[in-house]
């Protein structure tokens, strides 16, 4: 075993720190620590001459472990680690601490005490680095191909981006046709142009590069790297990020896409007629049909539930290109992809459950999507606005907003686009049929996007009536075949009975019924409303806790077309970033399981925020936990969860934690009792940084231990701190709903509660232990809490746990 030689490099920040801290005393203290072979002091060590000193010390083999006291360690350690690695030393043998923001600045009023604390901080860093094991770097294959689940406008655009970047893309869609909701919605607000269009591809030579293209002439199906599977769903996913094996099942179309020329002879001949769901059942269709030739593929499909197959086969006889194959079977295809993008969109909520609106009983009560089909000139009524009950013309239309949205019984959220959709429809009606009377009943009108308010203005200018009030009931008068909408006009404080020929319900937008199933297959989280949950809504809106799997478009929450496009492009970039090097390189700062101790209790697989732990059988029939090095993010929540200490982090082993705790509490130098603050390296440690950066003051008896996540803390650590001489312990983590690792802050809270109970049993005041949840900008709260804790423990008796 190579002898451990620790080099300690003390930056005095251009001479500023040495005005407060006694660097002579610090240097001689450090020199006296066993294992330290080299000590140097300079203005700065993270670049220039200072960095050269470190590199020379390494090259001359005087040191093989590095401790640097430097400014803004979270930034400077990047440069130092890089240089150290180039010099041939494992970069994880470097520990950088902050004597400026964590010592000199906050304790500038008590320089002697600050110096003693500096000694303790350096001792802790040195002890940690002495116990550090080498961290290897691993490489994993990243197959440069992507699976996009969902062929709506978000899925198509993400697929197009990636295909044009050179990735092999598989786009799967559960319906027989691409297009999703857009193919039925006819027009999109606020531009009122076609809904079924996507970005123009730039790589196809014969397709003009413009801002956008109709899907059917976009050439998306001709992109060389893009393979489209319609009538397909994901059945199983195996493998790891960068290298997934996905099994998809493709239901038979019964029509050869390449041979079909969409001549309609088959449909004309087909004897079977069924209600046309695509067209809101406003008309019927045949068992062999095409929904719209506007998207891909421009080929017919057979509805296998309606078709009589060989009992009939009339379509086979008339097809001029022999495209119909009644004996097609479902196919299973295994795709090897590096990354998966979920773009499964949303659908309209079924308002039948809101019985007072009688959607299921009165044919003249329809939804916005059904209305969109009606006004579509390609649609079931060729664009005529009629009453579905008797096909007669319409004189009065009433729109009802928030049907199933903002409703705690069904969907508590606002679906965000329904106001604009109804306005779009109302404007369309007034522009094409100005004699039709249109009223919109609303709770609030929400037109928040760019240009959206002008849309609302236009509606008012065209004479659309607005009634502020949520309709209580829709009644049908059998004598006149008219509908009556009972609503209170809140502004006039009058009860109205609005007569309507057609009532259009602006229903909520909800996840498709198979979203949950897909989430289970992929191991993705869904939120309480059933939408796919993103990693972080503000900054990583298209990523998930699973690296390698991305989500975009309406699948995360209802949104309009511009936002869905944004999302799609974002997901494409994330996937490209992940796969572009053809390999995933990772430093293995991961958790490791001691299989002898593992009791297969299943706590850690369930708790791991990254789903990185699974249970595997051993020869003796036992199950033990196994950590995926690729998925593990090294947060340590599993360490805090394990009841028997069978798992620890390679880059922060238990002995390293204990060594630091003891070192930090070994030197006092003040009259005050020692307090240990265990801070997560996200918000917790950042709050300590900011209190120093802002030059706040708190006493030097408060010592800070940095851990990756507060979730790593075990009750044992807290008791050890008291044993080592702490009179008070503070755990500082992120906000409970903002933990950077998802669950860590909440887990830490539980530990603190348990530890408080235990302390009470020992006769120790539970107030000596507290948990703080802070943000970086709440450095003042940290300083305040540090002062308060100090005052508290000063007022209590000195304790020493056995």
Beta bridge pairs of residue 199:
212
Minimum distance, C-beta of residue 441 to other proteins, in the bound complex (Å): 9
Minimum distance, C-beta of residue 130 to other proteins, in the bound complex (Å): 57
Toward other proteins, which CB reaches closer, 468 or 653?
468
Beta bridge pairs of residue 793:
none
Strands (E), 501-622: 502-507, 509-510, 549-551, 583-587, 591-593, 613-617
If one asks whether residue 461 binds other proteins (CB under 8 A), the answer comes out as: no
Q: Which long-range contacts (CB under 8 A, 24 or more apart) does 762-768 make?
A: 762/801, 764/722, 764/799, 764/801, 765/796, 767/792, 768/722, 768/727, 768/728, 768/729, 768/792, 768/793, 768/796, 768/799
Tokens 């196809």 label which residue? 204
Q: Specify the stretch interacting with other proteins by CB under 8 A; choose among 233-241, 485-493, 685-693, 706-714.
A: 485-493
Toward other proteins, which CB reaches closer, 222 or 490?
490
Minimum distance, C-beta of residue 478 to other proteins, in the bound complex (Å): 8
If one asks whether residue 753 binds other proteins (CB under 8 A), the answer comes out as: no
Phi, psi of 48 (to 5 degrees): 60, -145
Q: Which of residues 491-530 bind other proteins (CB under 8 A)?
A: 493, 495
Beta bridge pairs of residue 198:
213
If one asks whether residue 490 binds other proteins (CB under 8 A), the answer comes out as: yes
Q: Residues in the chain, how many?
A: 802
Q: Of 85, 488, 587, 753, which one interacts with other proteins (CB under 8 A)? A: 488
Minimum distance, C-beta of residue 488 to other proteins, in the bound complex (Å): 4
Toward other proteins, which CB reaches closer, 488 or 600?
488
Residue 163 DSSP SS3: helix
- The 297-336 site mask, x for binding other proteins (CB under 8 A), equals ----------------------------------------
Residue 399 DSSP SS3: strand
> What's the CA gap between 682 and 446, in Å, rounded?
37
Toward other proteins, which CB reaches closer, 78 or 475?
475
**Which helix (H) or strand (E) covers residue 484, if one does?**
strand 482-489
Angle between helices 683-693 and 779-795 (to 10 degrees): 90
Q: How many residues line the site for other proteins (CB under 8 A)?
A: 22
- The 463-482 site mask, x for binding other proteins (CB under 8 A), equals -----xxxxxx-x--x----
Minimum distance, C-beta of residue 472 to other proteins, in the bound complex (Å): 3
Toward other proteins, which CB reaches closer, 133 or 356?
356
Minimum distance, C-beta of residue 404 to other proteins, in the bound complex (Å): 9
Beta bridge pairs of residue 137:
587
Residue 546 DSSP SS3: coil
Toward other proteins, which CB reaches closer, 151 or 469?
469
Toward other proteins, which CB reaches closer, 190 or 469?
469
Minimum distance, C-beta of residue 480 to other proteins, in the bound complex (Å): 13
Residue 287 DSSP SS3: coil
- The answer to whether the Cα torsion of 700, 702, 708, 709 is positive or negative is negative
Minimum distance, C-beta of residue 481 to other proteins, in the bound complex (Å): 15
The answer to whether 200 and 588 have CB atoms below 8 angstroms apart is no
DSSP 8-state class, residue 104? I
Cis peptide, bond prior to residue 160, ω within 30 of zero: no
Toward other proteins, which CB reaches closer, 473 or 527?
473
- The 343-362 site mask, x for binding other proteins (CB under 8 A), equals ------------xx------
Toward other proteins, which CB reaches closer, 72 or 443?
443
Angle between helices 153-164 and 561-579 (to 10 degrees): 40
> What's the CA gap between 181 and 417, in Å, rounded?
13
Q: Which of residues 664-723 bind other proteins (CB under 8 A)?
A: none
Those residues with Cβ within 8 angstroms of residue 451's Cβ, 6 or more apart along the chain or in another chain: 190
- Number of neighbouring beta carbons within 10 Å of residue 185: 21
Minimum distance, C-beta of residue 563 to other proteins, in the bound complex (Å): 25
Minimum distance, C-beta of residue 418 to other proteins, in the bound complex (Å): 14
Toward other proteins, which CB reaches closer, 410 or 776?
410
Q: Which of residues 612-671 bind other proteins (CB under 8 A)?
A: none
**Hey, what are 511's tokens?**
């996840």
Toward other proteins, which CB reaches closer, 467 or 715?
467
**Which helix (H) or strand (E) covers residue 168, if one does?**
strand 168-172
Strands (E), 355-464: 365-367, 396-403, 437-442
DSSP 8-state class, residue 180? T
Minimum distance, C-beta of residue 509 to other proteins, in the bound complex (Å): 16
Toward other proteins, which CB reaches closer, 334 or 475?
475
Q: Specify the stretch interacting with other proteins by CB under 8 A; choose among 149-157, 373-381, 489-497, 730-738.
A: 489-497
- The 373-412 site mask, x for binding other proteins (CB under 8 A), equals -----------------------------x---xxxx---
Toward other proteins, which CB reaches closer, 13 or 414?
414
- Largest CA-CA distance found in the chain, in angstroms, rounded: 102
Minimum distance, C-beta of residue 408 to other proteins, in the bound complex (Å): 5
Minimum distance, C-beta of residue 440 to other proteins, in the bound complex (Å): 14
Toward other proteins, which CB reaches closer, 431 or 473?
473
Minimum distance, C-beta of residue 609 to other proteins, in the bound complex (Å): 33
Minimum distance, C-beta of residue 468 to other proteins, in the bound complex (Å): 7
Minimum distance, C-beta of residue 447 to other proteins, in the bound complex (Å): 18
> What's the CA gap between 459 and 469, in Å, rounded?
18
CA angle 757, 760, 763 (to 5 degrees): 160
Q: Which of residues 432-451 bind other proteins (CB under 8 A)?
A: 443
Toward other proteins, which CB reaches closer, 212 or 465?
465
DSSP 8-state class, residue 377? T
Q: Of 303, 350, 486, 753, which one interacts with other proteins (CB under 8 A)? A: 486
Residue 440 DSSP SS3: strand
**Hey, what are 464's tokens?**
């659309």
Minimum distance, C-beta of residue 355 to other proteins, in the bound complex (Å): 4
CA distances from 41 to 8, 34, 103, 118, 196 (A): 9, 19, 17, 14, 66
Toward other proteins, which CB reaches closer, 470 or 787?
470
Toward other proteins, which CB reaches closer, 500 or 687?
500
Those residues with Cβ within 8 angstroms of residue 798's Cβ, 6 or more apart along the chain or in another chain: 673, 727
**Hey, what are 26's tokens?**
């610090």
Query: What residue ranges bind other proteins (CB under 8 A)?
Result: 355-356, 402, 406-409, 443, 468-473, 475, 478, 486-488, 490, 493, 495
């Amino acid at each position: 075993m190579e002898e451990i030689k620790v080099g300690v490099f003390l930056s005095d920040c251009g001479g500023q720190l040495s005005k407060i801290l006694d660097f002579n005393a610090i240097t001689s203290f450090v020199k006296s620590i066993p294992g330290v072979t080299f000590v140097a002091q300079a203005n700065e060590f993270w670049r220039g001459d200072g960095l050269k000193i470190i590199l020379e010390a390494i090259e001359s083999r005087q040191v093989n472990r590095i401790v640097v006291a430097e400014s803004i360690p979270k930034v400077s350690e990047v440069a130092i680690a890089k240089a150290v690695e180039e010099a041939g030393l494992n970069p994880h043998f470097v520990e950088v601490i902050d004597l400026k923001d964590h010592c000199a600045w906050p304790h500038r009023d008590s320089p002697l005490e600050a110096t003693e604390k500096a000694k303790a901080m350096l001792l802790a860093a040195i002890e940690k680095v002495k116990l550090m094991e080498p961290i290897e770097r691993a490489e994993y294959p990243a197959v440069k191909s992507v699976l996009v689940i969902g062929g709506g406008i978000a899925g198509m655009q993400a697929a197009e981006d990636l295909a044009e970047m050179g990735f092999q893309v598989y786009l799967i869609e559960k319906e027989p046709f691409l297009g999703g909701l857009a193919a039925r919605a006819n027009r999109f607000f606020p531009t009122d142009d076609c809904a079924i269009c996507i970005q123009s591809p730039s790589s196809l030579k014969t397709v003009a590069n413009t801002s956008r293209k109709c899907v059917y002439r976009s050439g998306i199906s001709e992109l060389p790297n893009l393979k489209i599977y319609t009538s397909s769903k994901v059945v199983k996913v195996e493998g790891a990020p960068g290298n997934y094996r996905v099994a998809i099942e493709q239901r038979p179309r019964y029509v050869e896409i390449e041979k079909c020329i969409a001549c309609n002879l088959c449909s004309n001949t087909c004897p079977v007629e069924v209600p046309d769901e695509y067209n809101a059942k406003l008309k019927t269709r045949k068992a062999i049909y095409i929904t719209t030739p506007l998207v891909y593929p421009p080929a017919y499909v057979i509805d296998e539930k309606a078709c009589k197959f060989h009992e009939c086969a009339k379509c086979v006889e008339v097809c001029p290109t022999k495209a119909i194959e009644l004996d097609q079977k479902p196919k299973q295809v295994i795709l090897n992809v590096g990354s998966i993008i979920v773009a499964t969109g949303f659908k309209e909520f079924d308002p039948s459950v809101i019985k007072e609106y009688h959607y299921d009983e009165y044919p003249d009560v329809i939804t916005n999507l059904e209305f969109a089909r009606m006004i579509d000139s390609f649609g079931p009524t060729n664009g005529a606005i009629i009453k579905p009950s008797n096909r007669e013309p319409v004189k009065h239309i009433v729109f009802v907003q928030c049907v199933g949205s903002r409703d705690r019984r069904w969907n508590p959220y606002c679906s965000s686009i329904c106001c604009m959709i109804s306005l779009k429809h109302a404007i369309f009606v007034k522009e094409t049929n100005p004699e039709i009377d249109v009223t919109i009943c609303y709770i609030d009108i929400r037109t928040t996007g760019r240009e959206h308010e002008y849309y609302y203005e236009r509606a008012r200018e065209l004479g659309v009536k607005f009634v502020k009030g949520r309709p209580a009931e829709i009644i049908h008068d059998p004598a006149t075949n008219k509908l009556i909408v009972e609503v209170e006009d809140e502004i006039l404080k009058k009860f109205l009975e609005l007569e309507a020929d057609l009532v259009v319900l602006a229903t909520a937008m909800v996840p498709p019924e198979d979203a949950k199933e897909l989430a289970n297959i992929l191991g993705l989280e869904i939120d309480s409303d059933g939408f796919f949950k993103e990693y972080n809504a503000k900054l990583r809106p298209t990523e998930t806790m699973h690296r390698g799997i991305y989500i975009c478009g309406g699948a995360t929450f209802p949104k309009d077309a511009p936002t869905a496009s944004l999302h799609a492009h974002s997901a494409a970039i994330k996937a490209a970033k992940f796969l572009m090097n053809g390999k995933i390189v990772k430093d293995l700062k991961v958790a490791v399981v001691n299989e002898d101790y593992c009791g297969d209790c299943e706590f850690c697989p369930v708790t791991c925020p990254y789903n990185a732990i699974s249970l595997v059988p051993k020869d003796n029939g036992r199950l033990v936990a196994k950590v995926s090095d690729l998925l593990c993010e090294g947060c340590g929540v599993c360490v805090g969860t394990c009841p028997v200490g069978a798992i620890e982090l390679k880059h922060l082993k238990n002995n390293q934690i204990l060594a630091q705790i003891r070192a930090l509490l070994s030197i006092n130098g003040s009259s005050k009792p020692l307090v240990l603050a265990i801070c997560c390296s996200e918000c917790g440690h950042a709050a300590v940084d900011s209190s120093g950066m802002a030059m706040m003051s708190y006493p030097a008896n408060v010592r800070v231990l940095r851990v990756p996540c507060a979730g790593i803390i075990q009750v044992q650590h807290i008791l050890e701190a008291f044993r080592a001489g702490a009179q008070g312990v503070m755990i500082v983590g992120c906000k409970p709903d903002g933990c950077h690792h998802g669950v860590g802050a909440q887990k830490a809270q539980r530990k603190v509660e348990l530890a408080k109970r235990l302390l009470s049993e020992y006769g120790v005041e539970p107030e000596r232990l507290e948990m703080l949840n802070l943000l970086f900008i709440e450095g003042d709260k940290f300083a305040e809490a540090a002062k308060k804790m100090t005052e508290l423990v000063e007022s209590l008796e000195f304790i020493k746990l056995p």
